[in-house]
Structure 1
Amino acid sequence: MKTTFNIWETSRNLYLKYLENYSLEQLNKIPEGFSNNLIWNIAHIIVSQQKLVYALSGLPMHISQEMLEKYQNGSRPDGEVAQEEVDEIKQLLTFLVNQTKSDFDNGIFKEFNPYQTKTGFYLGTLQEAIEFNNYHEGIHLGIMMQIKKFL
């Protein structure tokens, strides 16, 4: 799991650079031909990780119900995200990595409810969910790399 967590930390640091290097206007812009923007992708990966790791383990998530609804699968940006929300997303990017690693090390994950993703991946264990999360975050990083070409 050490390598899996290292990959995840590296991924999250790449996302963090978007929050540090792009303006609020750029984070919110939806280029023509795209259905979302940079900030939606970043918040979406936070929500997805919480659902994949905590919800499927029968544990409470560390995000608000509002954030869950706003950024879950099937959602789309519903207006401009304010700087305060960007700051919260930025904090969650790193906090949740540390929290998840700590929770994993402390053995709080006792059960896991298997899940079939919409793309056909079967997640039968917590480890599979964490590894799939890295794959999922890589997909969204690729989308963001495309979006940034149009900003």
Structure 2
Amino acid sequence: MESLFRAWKTSRMAYLKFFENYSLEQLNRIPDGFSNNLIWNIGHIIATQHKLIYIGSEVEGHIPEEVFLNYQSGTKPTAPVAQQEADLLKRLLLEQIEPTISDFNNKKFVTYRERTTGTGFHLTSIYDAFEWNNFHEGLHLGYMMSIRKFIV
């Protein structure tokens, strides 16, 4: 699990750099041909991690319900994200890590509701959920690398 957690932390640091390198206007811009923007992708990986790990294990998570509802699968940006919400997402990128690892180490994830993701990956355990989460975050990092080429 240590390598999974290391990969996850590295992924989150890559996401954090978008806040350092782009303005709020750039984070909110949806380029032609895309259905979302940089900030939505950040919110989405936060919401998806919550769904995969916490909802899948039927354990209370560490993000506001509103963040989950606004960025879960099937959503898209409906209005520009204000600075206050951007600051919250930036904080959550890092604040999700230690409580989640602690919850894992303290064996809070006892059961897992098996399911198949929208892309066909079958999740049978919390271990599958962590692996899929890392893969999912890698996919969205790739989407963001494409989006950033069109927002400067």
Cα deviation 1:27-69 (Å, max 9, x = unaligned): 0000000000000000000000000000010111222222111
Q: What residue is the counterpart of 1:59 in the other structure?
A: 59
Q: What residue is the counterpart of 2:43 in the other structure?
A: 43
Q: What residue is the counterpart of 2:20 in the other structure?
A: 20
Q: What residue is the counterpart of 1:90 in the other structure?
A: 90
Cα deviation 1:114-148 (Å, max 9, x = unaligned): 11101100000100000000000000000000000
Q: Which deviates the most, 101-110 or 47-56?
A: 101-110
Q: Which runs of 5+ in 2 are unaligned?
A: none
- Please report the RMSD computed on the Cα atoms of aligned residues, expressed in angstroms: 0.7
Q: What residue is the counterpart of 2:102 in the other structure?
A: 102
| Equivalent-residue separation in structure 1 for 2:67 and 2:107 (angstroms) | 26
TM-score by length of 1: 0.98
Three-state SS of the structure 1 residue aligned to 2:31 is: coil
- Does the 8 Å CA contact 2:58/2:112 hold for their aligned counterparts? yes
- Does the 8 Å CA contact 2:44/2:71 hold for their aligned counterparts? yes
Q: What residue is the counterpart of 1:146 in the other structure?
A: 146
Match of 1:122, as an amino acid?
H
Three-state SS of the structure 1 residue aligned to 2:96 is: helix
Shift of 1:79: 0.4
Alignment of 1:123-142 (within 5 A): 123-142=123-142
Q: Which deviates the most, 100-109 or 124-133?
A: 100-109
Cα deviation 1:4-39 (Å, max 9, x = unaligned): 000000000000000111100000000000000000
Q: Which runs of 5+ in 1 are unaligned?
A: none
Three-state SS of the structure 1 residue aligned to 2:10 is: helix
Q: What residue is the counterpart of 2:81 in the other structure?
A: 81
Q: What residue is the counterpart of 1:112 in the other structure?
A: 112
| Equivalent-residue separation in structure 2 for 1:86 and 1:145 (angstroms) | 19
TM-score by length of 2: 0.97
Match of 1:40, as an amino acid?
W
| Equivalent-residue separation in structure 2 for 1:61 and 1:105 (angstroms) | 15
| Equivalent-residue separation in structure 2 for 1:45 and 1:121 (angstroms) | 17
Identity over the aligned pairs, expressed in percent?
Answer: 52
